[in-house]
Every structure is written in structure tokens, then in C-alpha cells.
Amino acid sequence: MVLAHGFTGDLDRPQVRRAAHVLARHAAVVTFSFRGHGRSGGRSTVGDSEVLDLAAAVTWARSLGHSRVITLGFSMGGSVVLRHAGLHGLARLRARTTPEAAPGTNGGRTEARGGTQGAESAAAAVFAIPAAPSAASAPSAPAVPVPLSEADRVVAAGSRADRTDLVIAVSSPARWYYRGTAPMRRLHWLVTGRLGRTVGRLGFRTRIRPGDWDPVPLSPTALAPYIAPVPLLLVHGDRDPYFPLDHPRALQRAAGTHGELWIERGMGHAENATDEALLGRLWRWAERTGGTAGA
């Protein structure tokens, strides 16, 4: 099981260590710090390039001999595990439905060229996004061209080694740029301004990359329909101060009949609110559900 922590967390945080300790009673557990967090290098992109970090952790887990890998993410980490699984699902679907995605081609990508031959713009890659299998219009819906971030492109073109077999997202946002609660307004101040990023670095050991996303990465809701057939569990507290219940419900709607949603009474947000009893239930669900190794 690979644990993906939330924003401003890292593998040394007590709540992450506690979750790893509890789950290690049942399975091998891999913890890591996302880029820009704790002792990891680089700068945080708040959910975009972090899919590359998760993919590397999954690949490393498989290199240790584990044939079945579960990804469990909290808050930002929850959005990352959803996006990671959805990008792989999207790639699988495109490989079956898009001739341009066949091996030996550019995978359906269109490159925008600048004045210098071979130079790509920031929004250079365009993916032809087919309708999700759960959509009523899937058989006849045309593929929609969507610009992908560099990280999304890399993960979507990845190998079987970095695919997950089962996904659990706890306290994940459904969409980007949400400012509907006071904690999220504070988080946006932390991310978007120079003073906020200084506070993040000195107070939370989190180095944040300045500037806006360009292009905006596909959101958890946009990618949730493509996670199937990989088993999916969404967990959210009814007292989450960051993301109200419309977030998990939007994710469940996007996943169609595939995703399972648990609304936990009295639960707050992410790792801090995930107690030992809930961790045990998550493991029992994973054990009961199985997974889609090799899917």
C-alpha cells in the first residue's frame, strides 16, 4: 500500500507515521514525501506534478516484488491518487478507441510549434479524450481535444509498472480553485502570494512553486469516470472544514456506478481525522474488494 499525504504533510508527520504503522499490521506500506514537502527536493505544484511522485512510488513498490499495489491518498494526496488512476484509465480507453494512440505514433498528441522548429509551447500537448465507458453517450460521442499538463501526459503514457490496482481517496477535493470555506481561502493565500509561500516554507516545511498552472491539469472529477475497472473508495467526513459534502458526491456522480462512497459521521479532514478504527475498515474493504492486477 502506497500512502499519499496531504498538502503541507510529509512522511515524518505523526499522523502519516501513525497511519503507516496501523496499516503495516496488514500489508507492506510505502510512505514518501511529495516534491517540495519535508525533506523532498523540488517545489510543490499542489496536485499537478505530484502524480509523477506517486507513479514513482508505485513503480518502486512493484520493484520490491509486490504484484498488487493499493494507493491511499489524503486531501491533496487523495486528488493525486484519483488523477493517477484516472490518467491510466484514460490511456487504456484511448488505446482501444483511438487509432492515433497505437504504438509507434505520437499517442494522439498535437504539438504546437513556435518560431524555433522543435520548440513546444506550455500548452503543446492536446489529448483526444473519448467519452467515459459509463456515459450514456459513450458509443457515439466524439473524442474531445483537451490540453494536458506535462505531468498528465507523462503519467498517461506510463507503463504497467506504475499503475495501481485499487484506489482509496480520503477527504479529496472534487475540483480546483475551491474557496468556499475559510481554511481553503487561507490555503489559497499560502499558495498564491510571496508572503504566503514564505510562511509555507518556514512554518510548514513546504516549498511551493510560484505561478499559475498552464495548462490546468485535469481535475479529479474529470478523471473519475476513467478509473473503472480499478476498484474505487471515496471517504469523506461530514464535519470536514475544508471541503463540504458536495465534493465527494460530485466525485461519486462522476465515477458513475463504479465508485463507493462512505460519509463518516463526526469526521473532520484527512490524516488528522482518520483514526485507527477507520484505517482498519479501509484495509478490510481493500482486502474484500481485491483489485485489478494487470488491468
237-261 pLDDT, tens per residue? Answer: 999 999 999 999 999 999 988 899 9
Supply the CATH classification number for the domain 2-289. 3.40.50.1820
pTM over 0.75: yes
Determine contact, residues 150/169, Cβ cutoff 8 Å: no
Structure confidence at residue 72 (pLDDT): 99
In terms of C-beta density within 10 A (0-12 exposed, 13-18 middle, 19 or more buried), how is residue 180 classed?
exposed
CA pair distance 85, 138, nearest whole angstrom = 20
Which residue in 56, 64, 78 sits closest to 162, CA to CA?
Answer: 56
Nearest one of 103, 213, 233, 222 to 167, comparing CA atoms: 233
- In the chain, where are the structural domains located? 2-289
pLDDT in the model for residue 127 = 62
Q: What is the pLDDT of residues 138-160, one digit of tens each?
A: 434 445 667 789 999 899 887 77
pLDDT of the chain, 295 residues: tens digit per residue: 999 999 999 999 999 999 999 999 999 999 999 999 999 999 999 999 999 999 999 999 999 999 999 999 999 999 999 999 999 998 888 777 655 544 333 333 323 333 333 333 333 456 666 677 654 434 344 456 677 899 998 998 877 788 999 999 999 999 999 999 999 999 999 999 999 999 999 999 999 999 999 999 999 999 999 999 999 999 999 999 999 999 999 999 999 888 999 999 999 999 999 999 999 999 999 999 986 543 3
